[in-house]
Structures are given as structure tokens and as C-alpha cells.
Structure 1
Amino acid sequence: MRPIDEIISEIESYESDDGNWLRLDELVTELWESGNPENGIDAMFKIFENNPTDDGAGVFWSILHGLETLEYEQKLYDSLMEKPSHMTIAMLKRIENTESETIAGKSISELKDLIKNNPKTKTELLDEI
């Protein structure tokens, strides 16, 4: 097994090969098999931020489901404030659908307003909020 730092580094720098996300899927699987996937939370959110309107041909949904098994809410909040993406907005909506009114101790409705007014939010994402 490779050192987890190598795996995380590859995830952080990953760019799809003309829409081919299979290598990323392999890296995420390798991260989980390391036994310490929480070490890669930032890298996984970085993938979402670097590809704000993409779903990685379904690979990002696997990442989302994995993140939901970890302590991720503060990192989700940070990512939404830094550079909202299709996947982080989907995660926020999933939390909201549980009838939760907060994320990381902050109001979801206020966060949604901040996202809508964030100049880093891609126009095509506004309808998703």
C-alpha cells in the first residue's frame, strides 16, 4: 500500500482525461482502503471546487456518499464559502432535506443567500440553490 500522502497528492492534482474519471475513482477507492479517508477530505472537496459544474461521470457521487460517512460539515461549509459547486450544493440540499436548519452551526438559509451573492458562484449553479 502506498503512503496516504501520495494518494492525497494525486487526488488534489487530478484532472480528467477528456471526461475520463476512472483514475480518480481508483484513487478514491485507494484512499478509503488506506483506513484513513478523513485525511483526504480537503482533497475531495478540492475536486468539487476545481470542477464546479461537473459530476465526474458519477465518480463525484461516490465521493459525496463517502464524505457523508465522515465528519465533513465544517469542510462543506468552507468549500461552499470558497467556491460553490454542483456537488457541494447537492450536499447542502441533502442536509436541508433532513429538516436540519444548520450546517456546522450556521444557518442554512443564510448560507444559501451568501452562496447566491458569492461572485465565485457560477451562474449556472444559481438555479440549484
Structure 2
Amino acid sequence: MSVVTPLMQRFGLRHPILQACPTPTRPRSSRRASQETRLTRAFSGRPARGIVNRFMTAIEPPGETSAALPFPLQNALTRPLRGAAGKAGRAEFLSLWAGQGLRLARRQPAAETEAAIARLKA
């Protein structure tokens, strides 16, 4: 039994089901949730800024001491969970790294982004 299996079961994830799921083109996330970021050690044991999700909140509830192990232990512990969540499109269990400028990002076709960059270079 994997060390991370009890953690996966706590969040309702099971290896056989996740391995059978198709990989989505992008993780599910709401617009509101996708704009909130904070520093966390929940996924790797090292501090990094990520989009707040269910796993981050469970391991490091706001105002409480982190339950994360030091790097590389936390990284090794969460690797199977992150891999399974990625295959199942479960963004609430993925490390979604993003900087403080995330709120400045906007959705637009790639062609529009390329055109804007070309105008800047001209």
C-alpha cells in the first residue's frame, strides 16, 4: 500500500478509477477560485505561490500551522496524488503555480496575444 493511499482516500480518490479516466484538456476551476493565490508548502515542502485549492486549504488551513513535511519528503508524498489528480482533471488536488500577477491575466485567442506582442516589437 502506498504511503499516500490514505491521503487519497481521505479526499475520495482511488488509483484504479483515476487511471481509467481520460485526461482533460485543462483542469476544472472557477473564475473566482482561479484568482486567489497564496504562498504554500503543501505540495512540495518548499514555499511557492499557487492558486488556492482544496488540497492547499486542507494541508495549510488559513491561520493554522502547516502540516506539510520538509522538502523533499512532502514532494515525494504528494507526487502520486498530484499525478492521479492530473489524469482525472481534478484541479483541487494539483499544484497550480501562479505569481501575484495572476489577476492581470486575461483569456484571449493566441492570435490576439501574438499580434499584441508584434505591435510591441514594432
TM-score (norm 1): 0.25
Looking at both structures, which has the greater relative contact order when contacts are Cα pairs under 8 Å and sequence separation is at least 6? 2
Q: Determine which structure has the larger helix proportion and give its number.
A: 1
Normalising by structure 2, report the TM-score. 0.26
The structure with more radius of gyration: 2
